[in-house]
């Protein structure tokens, strides 16, 4: 189990170990999550603060670091590598964490939004296990007035669920894939999802361009020309046009790049390969 006092819910070390298992036993270019850097909370005794820090971290892990998580779990189910119950548990946990994070970060409360909306309902349902109130009580919106001890129980709950979902269920699925007779079909669909994800991560292009400018001119980053959205849109449009002229498309180009890689196809690395390939052709 993760250490509750860390306030990070699921450590980057555990993710790195899972990524290593995938690379060594399934395919070297694949991984579960990329660039997961959890935040820490300064106090070991403020369980409300630790709880919200943990929720924010696990939401970041699912939403920002795991390429097309829900679609990937559905592929596992299609190949009988995950049961329907296991798929539902994983997807429902991800949704619950996302709704809790929305309550914390986006002023979601029943005075502004319908208390029957999905965010409000999931938050109320989660906290109902730790707070004695009438579910339809208008006084209770989304975040109840819990004691520090009850916040500790909340933290413990999401922590245990995170360990079960990621360290138990997901790892069990990956072990099944490693010996699966049709592993190549799963890998191919997994790579398809990665390629789709990279196609959505177009904002990495200006980061790459800024880095190249920095290396070329050896100037502080804040002294470099700004790479604006118009440049990015034009660059991507020209890349797609160039690829189309070759009878392909950008996702197929990503798939070719990923298949040629002998290490995890992290977004920055993969998009930079595409950038380098087409920078001087457009």
Please check the confidence at residue 163 and state whether its pLDDT lies above 70: yes
Same domain, 174 and 217: no
Domain-located, residue 191 = no
What is the pLDDT of the chain when averaged over all its residues?
80
Count of domains for the chain: 2
The reported pLDDT for the residue numbered 76 is 98
Helix (H, G, I), strand (E, B) or coil at 109: coil
pLDDT single digits (tens) 249-266: 888 889 999 999 999 999
Same domain, 223 and 264: yes
Same domain, 58 and 138: yes
Same domain, 46 and 154: yes
* Distance (Å) of CA 127 to CA 12, 69, 100: 27, 25, 10
Average pLDDT, stretch 104-115? Answer: 57
- Residue 4's pLDDT band, with cuts at 50, 70 and 90, is very low
Same domain, 133 and 233: no
Same domain, 27 and 104: yes
Distant-in-sequence, close-in-space partners of 104: CB < 8 Å, separation ≥ 6? 52, 55, 56, 143
Same domain, 172 and 211: no
Kindly write down the DSSP assignment for every residue of 54-76, as one continuous string.
Answer: HHHHHHHIIIIISTTHHHHHHHH
The reported pLDDT for the residue numbered 145 is 74
The reported pLDDT for the residue numbered 116 is 45
Give ∠ CA 90-35-38 in degrees, rounded to 5.
70
Same domain, 171 and 232: no
Q: Which range of residues forms the domain containing residue 41?
A: 4-180
- Residue 8's pLDDT band, with cuts at 50, 70 and 90, is low
pLDDT single digits (tens) 164-196: 999 899 999 999 999 999 999 999 999 999 999
Question: Nearest CA to 254 among 179, 178, 200?
Answer: 200
Same domain, 12 and 120: yes
Same domain, 261 and 132: no
Element of type H or E holding 50:
helix 47-60
Same domain, 127 and 246: no
Question: Nearest CA to 99 among 115, 125, 127, 118?
Answer: 118
Please check the confidence at residue 101 and state whether its pLDDT lies above 50: yes
């Amino acid at each position: 189990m993760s250490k509750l006092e860390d306030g990070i819910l699921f450590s980057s070390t555990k993710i790195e170990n899972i990524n290593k298992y995938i690379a060594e036993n399934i395919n070297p270019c694949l991984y579960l999550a990329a660039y997961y850097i959890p935040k820490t909370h300064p106090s070991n005794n403020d369980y409300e603060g630790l709880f919200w820090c943990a929720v924010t971290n696990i939401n970041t892990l699912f939403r920002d670091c795991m390429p097309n998580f829900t679609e990937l779990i559905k592929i596992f189910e299609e190949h009988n590598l995950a049961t329907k119950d296991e798929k539902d548990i994983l997807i429902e946990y991800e949704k619950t964490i996302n709704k809790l994070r929305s309550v914390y970060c986006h002023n979601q409360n029943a005075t502004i939004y319908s208390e029957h909306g999905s965010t409000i309902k999931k938050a109320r349902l989660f906290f109902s296990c730790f707070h004695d109130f009438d579910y339809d009580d208008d006084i209770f919106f989304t975040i109840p007035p819990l004691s520090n001890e009850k916040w500790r129980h909340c933290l413990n709950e999401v922590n245990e669920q995170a360990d079960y979902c990621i360290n138990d269920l997901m790892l069990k699925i990956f072990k099944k894939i490693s010996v699966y007779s049709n592993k190549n079909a799963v890998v191919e669909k997994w790579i398809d999802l990665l390629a789709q994800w990279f196609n959505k991560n177009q904002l990495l292009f200006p980061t790459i361009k800024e880095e190249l400018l920095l290396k070329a001119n050896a100037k502080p980053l804040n002294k470099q020309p700004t790479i604006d959205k118009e440049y990015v849109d034009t660059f991507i449009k020209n890349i797609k046009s160039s690829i189309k002229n070759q009878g392909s498309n950008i996702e197929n180009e990503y798939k070719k790049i990923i298949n040629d890689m002998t290490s995890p196809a992290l977004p920055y690395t993969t998009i930079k390969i595409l950038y380098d390939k087409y920078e001087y052709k457009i």
